[in-house]
Amino acid sequence: MSKVFKKTSGNGDLTLYLGKRDFVDHVTSVDIVDGVLKVDPANLNGRKVFVYLACAFRYGSEDLDVIGLSCRRDIWVKRVQVFPVIAGGIGKTPMQEALVKKAGEQAHHFSFEMPTNLPCSVALQPGPNDSGKACGVDFELKAYIANAADDGDEVIEKKDTCRLMIRKIQFSPASTNAGPKAEITSPLQLSASLGKENYYHGDPISINVKINNDSSKVVKKIKITVEQNTAVVLYSSDNYVKAVCSEEFGETINANSTFEKEFTMTPLLANNSEKRGIAVDGRLKDGDTNLASTTLCESGEKEMQGIIISYKVKVSVSLSSGGDVVAELPLILMSPNGHLGSNS
């Protein structure tokens, strides 16, 4: 264990320890959140100590909390009692064994299993003039002293709490599959395909375009756009589509002629840094991030809540007589296994 993350409560009675803050969603399972809490019982006065893990959707300025308006909605919450210790608990993981040695006496271990239908950590990029915390999905681990685990009438003082933000992330699956393909047959024959199934953030995306212009019309240009679709699923489902990369190519294709060319597009967060509402992968503190990764989920799984990300490539062929012929291709855009936080 090369690094330990810890946070101590204001009163000094609680200290949270984690060996990592990134937990991987493998689609069919999620890494266990295994940590340790050091408790000084001297000032508990009969109260108990709990830890909760919450996945929440944050949708407004933290200033709203000051006037009593909640700016977050919990999607999933789980609480465990850490002290006094409840008999019959599960054993320690190797990570927890190492953390207990680090924390010393009065250290107690806890674990959480996240369901696979939770969204990953993601934020919606604020505009240049926006202030406050970004809207998005985050995961909070919090230890607190209270008489009961979840009593809405009990006031828990800030000094009796400590918290660490963690991330739920996904990596691109290994794939050697061919890329998706789309074909349009009228008013001309348009075929578009991607070079492969999965692409990493920052890598150029290859798009092969074939046109058999068996019509009497002339093609005057080709436009290729990479679109990010952000589905916000809470009380209802709202979709927001943003172009994250777009380019026009002045290709003239006369009637009764053919055309084939491979184009490359590279969608980068650096080129969208001032676009309000672009979804980005969740970050801890002010670290680098990238465009939000495609959300992977099991087919047939119950509906996921929160923010769900997908991408598509649109190939638009403009005709001199007016109108466009459009082919759309699904795009999987993610980070390679073990690599996060580029500037892409």
Question: What DSSP character marks residue 195?
Answer: S
- Quote the tokens at residue 338: 């073990």
Q: What is the mean pLDDT of residues 214-218?
A: 93
In this prediction, residue 284 carries a pLDDT of 67
Residue 39: pLDDT above 90?
A: yes
Asked whether 131 and 61 are in contact (CB, 8 A), the reply is yes
Kindly indicate the confidence band of residue 64, based on its pLDDT and cuts at 50, 70 and 90. Answer: very low
- Quote the tokens at residue 292: 């939000």
Which one is predicted more confidently, 195 or 276?
195
pTM: 0.88
Which of these ranges, 37-41, 44-48, 176-180, 247-251, has the smallest mean pLDDT? 176-180
Mean pLDDT of all residues belonging to the chain: 89
- Quote the tokens at residue 181: 């393909």
What are the Cα distances from residue 214, in Å, to 189, 255, 308?
A: 7, 6, 40
Which of these ranges, 93-97, 169-173, 197-201, 286-290, has the smallest mean pLDDT? 286-290
The one-letter amino acid at 100: V
| High-pLDDT (> 70) share of the chain, % | 90
| Residues contacting residue 259 through CB under 8 Å, at least 6 positions apart | 209, 210, 211, 213, 219, 251, 253
Kindly indicate the confidence band of residue 1, based on its pLDDT and cuts at 50, 70 and 90. Answer: low
Residue 67: pLDDT above 50?
A: no
Q: What is the mean pLDDT of residues 302-331?
A: 92
In this prediction, residue 177 carries a pLDDT of 87
Residue 329: pLDDT above 80?
A: yes
Asked whether 167 and 23 are in contact (CB, 8 A), the reply is yes
Asked whether 243 and 229 are in contact (CB, 8 A), the reply is no
Kindly indicate the confidence band of residue 340, based on its pLDDT and cuts at 50, 70 and 90. Answer: low
Q: What is the mean pLDDT of residues 82-100?
A: 89
Kindly indicate the confidence band of residue 342, based on its pLDDT and cuts at 50, 70 and 90. Answer: very low
Q: Is 129 exposed, middle or buried (0-12, 13-18, 19+ CB in 10 A)?
A: exposed
What are the Cα distances from residue 321, in Å, to 112, 284, 286?
A: 61, 52, 50
- Rounded to whole angstroms, the Cα distance separating 344 from 341 reads 8
Which one is predicted more confidently, 80 or 130?
80
Q: In what order do the strands lie in the sheet with 33-39?
A: 5-8, 14-18, 33-39, 107-112
